[in-house]
Amino acid sequence: MIQINNLSKSFGRQLLFDNVSFSVNPKERIGLVGRNGHGKTTLFRIIIGEEQPDSGDIAIPKGYRIGYVTQHLLFAEQTVLAEACRGLPEHLHGETWMAEKILSGLGFTKQDMRRPTSEFSGGYQVRLGLARVLVSEPDLLLLDEPTNYLDIVSIRWLEKFLRQWKSELMVITHDRSFMDSVTTHTVGIHRKRVRKIEGGTDKYYDQILKEEEIYEKTRINDEKKRKEAELFISRFRAKARLAGMVQSRIKALEKQDKLDRLEKIKTLDFSFNYKPFPAKILMTVDGLSFSYGDEDLIPDVSFTVGKEDRICVIGKNGKGKTTLLKLLVDELTPKAGKITAHGDLSIGHFSQTNALRLNNLYTIEEEIINAGCERQKARDIAGAMMFEGDMALKKIEVLSGGEKSRVLLGKILAQKSNLLLLDEPTNHLDMESSEALLAAIDDFEGAAVIVTHDEMFLHTLANRFIVFQGGGVTVFNGSYQNFLDKVGWEDERDGPSQRTTAPSQRIADREQVSKKDSRRVRADIIARRSKVINPLKTKIADTEAAIEAKEKRLSALNNDIIAASGIGKGETIARLSRDIHQLRTEIDSLFDELEVLITEYEEKSKAFDAEMDDQGLAV
């Protein structure tokens, strides 16, 4: 465990946190929350010694190992696998299977593992850095936005991996459902203080809300009493008969602490500007295909976009999701097929690569004006994007990646749209801003096509999916839970039974076995098979039924928590969050049991089949 004692940190006149203390106890998995710029990453950097606090200290036991994926990655080995193996603890050197397992979970193929590290994009290099840290099995694992460079399949794998993490963990992520699924405790940086609670983010934010409501009611009540006391003193100061009462109130006022009004915390607060649309169909895509060289990235896809659709584009990275959006906005030319857009279609397009098109010499205000609005409107939008007052006059060149993302959103707000095309819009946003964006998309009167790996968006928004999987592209109509139930991710499916019976070893006198003996031998094998196999089949069926029942319950709870979130029922959300976490744990345990049972069933069946085959009997 580590102990953080009376820690304070500021940059210039900006105080991040003041006199904070908490501990990370054995086997605790902690989610660290707070607004962007409030010090989450700085706290990580202090823990690993890359930053020094202004005051306070951190007590770390001797020999306690901390694993952290740094922003500046340096690779010393030639291949991906060799580089990942550098992280193996000394007593596990040579156990390359551990590195292979983690690399595979993070999206590297067997062929990728033999390739040079220099051939991979920045996103995959971050994955490699993460793999190197995971295999090192540190006492404390620090993860800062680990999902930003992962696709949805890898995120789901990492989620399951971290739920089984046996040591300590601290994670920063904007993905609330991911955080709540892997953590046991929440630590929040709020109003320059830090608090730690047992439980998920719903419980944490509910507690903060209740405490601030109580604080504000107390402040208002104290202010009322103060004014009443001041009025009494003013009216009766000259009355000798009431002098004692006046002095009593004066002394009481002097002793009373005056509660300051809570500072308003800035948050994204906006809505997309809808352009009315007369028809039912905004866009029709027919037989669309696209290739890079010899690779058919999008082999053939057809779909329509209705005026109120919420379509999420999902799949592994590098399979063509971003390319599809570029085709829809005519930034790329398809190999074949046709995209037909309605004459009144107006697209608001958000892409991380669009940040490169921002003019570094422009101010935030000028960039938004350039999107098509008046100066005052641009100032209002800048304020909604958390660039209030003179902050709207900051140059683009000095902005962080997250700030540029907010400028890009602001430019979309400056124009009227009836179709939003959003490519990973939550990257660089904090948890609160991501939820504000989700609400704004939900309230938008037009349609939205969104590339995202955030399962909260998928569960809450989507009614259709464009799925990149298995080398093709398919369209799925229904909720995300329906997709998981009916289709699912191929990497999570049990592969088809690879029944491979060894070549038969025929006995020399097979033709001499009488029919009577054959029936007797066959009956004996069948009887022994039934005695072994039938109980296994029953257990498998019972386990599958238990999983199905729990997944139906999980689906119902997910719907309940979405409904409760919409009306702000804090206690209900906290209870449902706990129930969901417990159900997921139980379902994972049942799947593990099912995997063992199916393996045993297949092995036993194969043995009896081989015995039948050796006897020259029909299986």
Q: What is the pLDDT of residues 489-503, one digit of tens each?
A: 988 865 433 323 222
Token pair in block for residue 464: 């259709």
Residue 619 pLDDT > 60: no
- The CA distance from 282 to 268, in Å, is 28
276-281, long-range: CB < 8 A, 24+ apart: 276/418, 277/307, 277/342, 277/344, 277/345, 277/418, 277/446, 278/344, 279/307, 279/342, 279/344, 280/306, 280/307, 281/305, 281/306, 281/307, 281/342
Residue 187 pLDDT > 90: yes
Per DSSP (E only), the strands in 333-412 are 336-341, 347-350
Average pLDDT over residues 146-171: 91
Q: How confident is the model at residue 58 (pLDDT cuts 50, 70, 90)?
A: very high
Higher pLDDT: 580 or 287? It is 287
Choose the weakest-confidence range: 285-289, 321-325, 475-479, 588-592.
588-592
* Edge-first strand listing for the sheet containing 281-292: 295-306, 281-292, 336-341
Per DSSP (E only), the strands in 242-294 are 281-292
Kind of pairing between the strands at 310-315 and 464-469:
parallel
Q: Which pLDDT belongs to residue 167?
A: 94
Q: Which pLDDT belongs to residue 511?
A: 37
- The CA distance from 169 to 185, in Å, is 10
Residue 565 pLDDT > 80: no
Q: Which pLDDT belongs to residue 504?
A: 30
Higher pLDDT: 168 or 546? It is 168
Higher pLDDT: 355 or 217? It is 217
Using an 8 Å Cβ cutoff, are 433 and 461 in contact? no
Q: Which pLDDT belongs to residue 32?
A: 96
Interval 429-443: pLDDT, tens: 888 888 889 999 999
Return the SS3 of 395. Answer: strand
- The CA distance from 406 to 605, in Å, is 59
- The CA distance from 51 to 142, in Å, is 15
Q: Which pLDDT belongs to residue 585?
A: 84
Nearest residue to 46 via CA among 1, 2, 87: 2
Q: Is the pTM of this model over 0.85?
A: no
Choose the weakest-confidence range: 140-144, 370-374, 592-596.
592-596
Average pLDDT for the chain? 85
Residue 613 pLDDT > 70: no
DSSP 8-state assignment for residue 437: H
Choose the weakest-confidence range: 202-206, 337-341, 391-395, 591-595.
591-595
Using an 8 Å Cβ cutoff, are 72 and 16 in contact? no
Q: How confident is the model at residue 587 (pLDDT cuts 50, 70, 90)?
A: confident
Residue 261 pLDDT > 80: no
- The CA distance from 435 to 295, in Å, is 37
Using an 8 Å Cβ cutoff, are 37 and 175 in contact? no
DSSP 8-state assignment for residue 36: T
Q: How confident is the model at residue 112 (pLDDT cuts 50, 70, 90)?
A: very high
Q: How confident is the model at residue 516 (pLDDT cuts 50, 70, 90)?
A: very low
Higher pLDDT: 570 or 192? It is 192
Interval 232-247: pLDDT, tens: 787 777 766 667 777 8
| Rg value, the chain, Cα | 31
